[in-house]
Amino acid sequence: MKTAIVVGSARNKGNTEQLSIAVAAKMSATLFNLNDYNISPFDYEFNHVNDDFLSLMKKLLSYERIILASPVYWYCASGVMKTFLDRFSDLLKVNKDLGHQLRGKLTALIATGCDQVPAPCFEEAFKLSYAYLGMTYQSMLYCCVEDDIDILHYQDQIGVFIGELIGELYAK
């Protein structure tokens, strides 16, 4: 199954991106870093047609599974991820043909943060957004990381997450 992982973090090569790279390598997923794209904030006049949002969405729609990855910032998604999510409104109002193509896509979430367990509101915001768009939410991989991530430390969690996505026990 073709899988895309969309990383939205204020820090390139940070913990969330490194965790996403590790998952992508084990799943043969394609990684997209939102920092590589010029995505304007949502505006009610839809005057941002010259940014990269629509071209990125067209690429993502060719995948059966879209995993979003964000660090937890103040119980919420990162700013760059929130901007990306806000622009999904374009797909509900202006580019409805693209928005309809999200229906039935599988989704998941990758996150890092400093709390042992993320606040329920973090995951809930994604779950509600996915449900509203008609997407099927599968699972979240959350890793508590105080400083720099040690991917080897999280191999078991990565394996369980991938197993949840593909519906079977995953051999590391």
Residue 108 lies in a domain: yes
> What pLDDT score does 47 carry?
84
C-beta separation of 87 from 47 below 8 A: no
Specify the pTM: 0.94
Query: Cα dihedral sign for 64, 104, 124, 141?
Result: negative
- Enclosing domain of residue 35: 3-166
* pLDDT of 21 above 70: yes
* Residues of the chain above pLDDT 70, percent: 97
Residue 171 lies in a domain: no
Run of H or E residues at 16? helix 15-27
When the pLDDT of each residue in the chain is averaged and rounded to a whole number, the result is 94
| CATH, residue 125 | 3.40.50.360
Q: pLDDT of 28-50, one tens digit each? A: 999 999 999 999 999 998 887 78
Cβ atoms within 10 A of the Cβ of 109, count? 23
C-beta separation of 108 from 65 below 8 A: yes
Residue 41 lies in a domain: yes
Question: Where do the H-state alpha helices sit in 46-151?
Answer: 53-60, 79-86, 88-93, 96-100, 120-132
* pLDDT of 171 above 60: no
> What pLDDT score does 156 carry?
94
Residue 172 lies in a domain: no
* pLDDT of 170 above 60: no
How many domains is the chain built from? 1
Residue 74 lies in a domain: yes
Cα 89 to its chain centre, rounded Å, is: 17
Residue 55 lies in a domain: yes
C-beta separation of 138 from 110 below 8 A: no
Report, as an integer, the average pLDDT of 66-82: 97
